[in-house]
């Protein structure tokens, strides 16, 4: 991800998507450099760019629709370490691009999109307040509630504490001092243990931890127990009385069985929020989530939004007269181990002819449980997920399978 590449990407995106285009980023160190390159490419493509500055990814998606822009873009590597970065594009209304439009941008890179006159840059600092107002419309009255907010030193570092304070809560904020290199470092949705510990130690009501670009959230109940996307999907499905919800192949087997007992179908999409949304739209389902805390409320917005998810969860608790701890106790998740196996060619390993044989043997060893192996979408690793009724068997099978997958290279 070099400035030269991002410059060319901007020109190709301008040719395919048109403008106006709203642009945001997270606070990682490479952001200003890549933002300058992307703006240059977009302007060279002859379109108008509305620059939002540092803003969560779902905020950029929302403002793409609110400004009636033809496209949106965000410079972020989400939950990844600071040294990674990427560019994500949205179409009208803030919806992620279809595969064919992404392919068209890639072809534009190869064809060297032409320079066009008319490009214009406009600053849009008011976008953050507009996004906050949108979120507050879904907030219950949090007067008297005490919340630990962990912003992961990411894109939500200003907005998240402000949001919950404006809704009436007493806020203890951490992860709000980004230096460009500490995004997602030991904090946030990928490392919620500090947030959860503070909730219990300080006697707060609950905690919320966002990832670096703010599209996912992990909660903690008043006892400091971590609440995942599986818990949230179960909670909302039960409170709303949904007949079916969409999870992924990584959703816990305990969730599937608990939903089944409640008369709710769990549909499993491939990993990735875009696939969750595709399945939701195809099946007419309103709720979908990944265990990582990325949740979509299709009747509210088409993009996962960590802060919106947290507010809607608090509203659901208020509506049902329950405490978050009640739902942690009601849903028994199976022990699960995820091993990230570094490989030189993750696609080759995932397509290896011996892999189905290894998976069948792993499931035989496991007994009551489930095994899933997939290439990571953002890292050079193959993710091995094993879950089952017996924790020791899960650990043993995960280690056994990870070792054999390394031998497939």
Q: Which residues are catalytic?
A: 78
Contact 41, 9 (CB under 8 A): yes
Q: Residue 307 CA to chain centroid, in angstroms?
A: 11
Tokens of 117: 């006159």
Residues making up the chain, counted from first to last: 409
Strand (E) or helix (H) holding 217: strand 217-220
Distance (Å, whole) CA 214 – CA 78 = 8
Distance (Å, whole) CA 148 – CA 196 = 8
Contact 345, 309 (CB under 8 A): no
Give residue for tokens 């924790």.
391
Can you spell out the DSSP letters for 84-105?
---EEEE-GGGPBPPHHHHHHH
Give residue for tokens 């949705």.
189
**DSSP-derived secondary structure letter, 335:** P
Contact 206, 171 (CB under 8 A): no
Distance (Å, whole) CA 228 – CA 195 = 13
| E strand residue ranges, 281-361 | 287-289, 295-297, 336-342
Distance (Å, whole) CA 181 – CA 154 = 10
What's the Rg (C-alpha) of the chain?
A: 21
Distance (Å, whole) CA 324 – CA 220 = 8
**Residue 250 exposed, middle or buried by CB count within 10 Å (0-12, 13-18, 19+):** buried
Torsion-angle region of 195 (φ positive above 0: left; ψ -120 to 50: alpha; else: beta): alpha
């Amino acid at each position: 991800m070099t400035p030269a590449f991002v410059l060319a990407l901007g020109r190709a995106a301008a040719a395919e998507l048109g403008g106006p285009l709203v642009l945001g980023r997270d606070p990682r160190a490479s952001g200003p450099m890549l933002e300058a390159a992307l703006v240059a490419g977009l302007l060279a493509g002859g379109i108008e760019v509305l620059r939002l500055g540092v803003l969560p990814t779902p905020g950029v998606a929302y403002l793409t629709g609110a400004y009636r822009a033809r496209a949106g873009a965000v410079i972020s590597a989400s939950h990844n370490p600071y040294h990674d970065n990427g560019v994500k594009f949205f179409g009208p209304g803030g919806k992620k691009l279809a595969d064919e439009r992404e392919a068209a941008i890639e072809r534009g890179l190869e064809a060297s999109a032409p320079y066009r006159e008319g490009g214009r840059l406009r600053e849009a600092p008011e976008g953050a307040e507009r996004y906050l107002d949108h979120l507050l419309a879904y907030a219950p009255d949090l007067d008297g509630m005490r919340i630990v907010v962990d912003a992961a030193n990411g894109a939500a570092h200003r907005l998240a504490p402000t949001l919950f304070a404006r809704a009436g809560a007493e806020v203890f904020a951490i992860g709000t001092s980004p230096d460009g290199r500490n995004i997602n470092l030991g904090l946030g949705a990928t490392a919620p243990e500090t947030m959860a510990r503070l909730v219990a130690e300080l006697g707060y009501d609950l905690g919320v931890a966002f990832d670096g670009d703010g599209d996912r959230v992990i909660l903690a109940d008043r006892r400091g127990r971590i609440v995942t996307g599986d818990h949230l999907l179960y909670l909302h499905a039960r409170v709303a009385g949904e007949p079916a919800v969409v999870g992924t192949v990584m959703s816990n087997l305990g969730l599937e069985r608990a939903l089944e007992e409640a008369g709710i179908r769990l549909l499993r999409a491939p990993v990735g929020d875009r696939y969750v949304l595709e399945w939701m739209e195809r099946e007419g389902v309103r709720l979908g989530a990944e265990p990582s805390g990325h949740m979509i409320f299709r009747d509210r917005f088409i993009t996962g939004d960590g802060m919106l998810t947290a507010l809607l969860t608090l509203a659901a608790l208020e509506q049902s007269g329950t405490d978050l701890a009640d739902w942690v106790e009601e849903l028994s998740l199976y022990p699960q181990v995820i091993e990230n196996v570094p490989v030189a060619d993750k696609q080759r390993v995932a397509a290896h002819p011996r892999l189905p044989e290894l998976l069948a043997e792993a499931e035989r060893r496991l007994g009551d449980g489930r095994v899933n192996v997939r290439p990571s979408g953002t890292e050079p690793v193959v993710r091995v997920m094993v879950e089952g009724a017996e924790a020791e068997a899960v650990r043993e099978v995960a280690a056994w399978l990870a070792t054999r997958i390394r031998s497939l290279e």
